[in-house]
């Protein structure tokens, strides 16, 4: 089963470093157990150990991804079959990103995630998968070169954001929407640099954009400038072009800031002589 319960080839259930199959697969996930409040005093015995486990996930993730280099996260549905046009689109996105010098980061599963990993790998780029513990048999797709499995969604999402310089979002369901709005919120609130967020597929995403620019904007829930955080395109070529353009702008901004800092430091040193 896939990460959303759809039939898909499975390679076992990952629980941290442990691989489980068949009857050994648990009926609840680490996230469920962490957030459960059935026993008010259980945190005294269980949660301190979970904190250590959460800490280890961050340490392992940071260590594994520290040398990935420039990377872009590609989000999309696990339900998309290999013969679907969206799968071909995912392959092209992954391929074009790799050719542009980016590592490609996905959730490591089937569907569009597999497609983007496939495109990156075949183009000679680094293909990264960030897997998640789920109550369905699923492993990393066969096109992942560097894979990290997580118990907790929040640790996994931190890795997507920390190591990505942009987000390309193909058609997907609740999981994809969660990842999209996580990135949007962090950019909108300036918790991260204003990295590009590109939605691919006008027909698929038009309703979301119309809702955001209609009732959401009209009621003052967002500002007009917030709509500029999202770019809507139809092709892989357009999506990657936006990522490259924004990447060049950010690097230019960093160079200007570094030059201004160096100049200010030199001025301060000259006044103290």
Q: What is the CATH number of the domain that holds 121?
A: 3.40.50.450
| Domain around 99 | 58-248
In a domain, 216, yes or no: yes
In a domain, 167, yes or no: yes
Answer whether 178's CB lies under 8 Å from 85's CB: no
In a domain, 13, yes or no: no
In a domain, 107, yes or no: yes
Model pLDDT for residues 152-173, shown as the tens digit of each residue:
889 999 999 999 999 999 999 9
In a domain, 236, yes or no: yes
Report the alpha-carbon distance of residue 218 to residue 213 in Å, rounded.
7
In a domain, 132, yes or no: yes
In a domain, 189, yes or no: yes
Model pLDDT for residues 19-72, shown as the tens digit of each residue:
565 665 666 666 666 666 655 555 455 667 778 888 989 999 999 999 999 999
Please check the confidence at residue 11 and state whether its pLDDT lies above 80.
no
In a domain, 148, yes or no: yes
Query: How many domains does the chain fold into?
Result: 1
Model pLDDT for residues 210-265, shown as the tens digit of each residue:
999 999 999 999 999 999 999 999 999 999 999 999 988 888 888 888 888 878 88
């Amino acid at each position: 089963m896939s990460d959303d319960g759809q039939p898909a080839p499975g390679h076992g259930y990952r629980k941290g470093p442990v691989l489980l199959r068949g009857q050994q697969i648990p009926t609840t996930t680490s996230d469920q157990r962490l957030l459960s409040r059935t026993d008010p005093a259980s945190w005294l015995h269980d949660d301190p150990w979970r904190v250590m486990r959460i800490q280890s996930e961050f340490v392992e993730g940071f260590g594994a991804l520290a040398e990935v280099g420039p990377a872009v996260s590609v989000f999309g549905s696990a339900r998309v079959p290999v013969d679907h046009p969206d799968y071909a689109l995912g392959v092209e996105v992954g391929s074009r990103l790799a050719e542009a010098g980016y590592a490609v980061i996905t959730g490591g599963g089937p569907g569009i995630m597999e497609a983007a990993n496939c495109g990156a790998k075949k183009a000679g780029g680094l293909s990264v998968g960030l897997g998640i513990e789920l109550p369905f048999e699923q492993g990393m797709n066969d096109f992942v070169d560097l894979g990290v499995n997580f118990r907790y969604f929040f640790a996994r999402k931190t890795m997507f954001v920390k190591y990505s310089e942009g987000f390309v979002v193909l058609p997907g369901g609740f999981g994809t929407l969660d990842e999209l709005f996580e990135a949007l919120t962090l950019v909108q609130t300036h918790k991260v640099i204003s990295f590009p967020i590109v939605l691919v597929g006008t027909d698929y995403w038009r309703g979301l954009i119309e809702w955001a620019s209609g009732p959401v904007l009209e009621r003052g829930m967002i500002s007009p400038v917030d709509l500029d955080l999202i770019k809507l395109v139809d092709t892989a070529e357009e999506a990657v072009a936006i990522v490259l353009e924004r990447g060049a702008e950010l690097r230019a901004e960093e160079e200007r800031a570094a030059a201004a800092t160096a100049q200010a430091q030199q001025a301060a040193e000259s006044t103290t002589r």
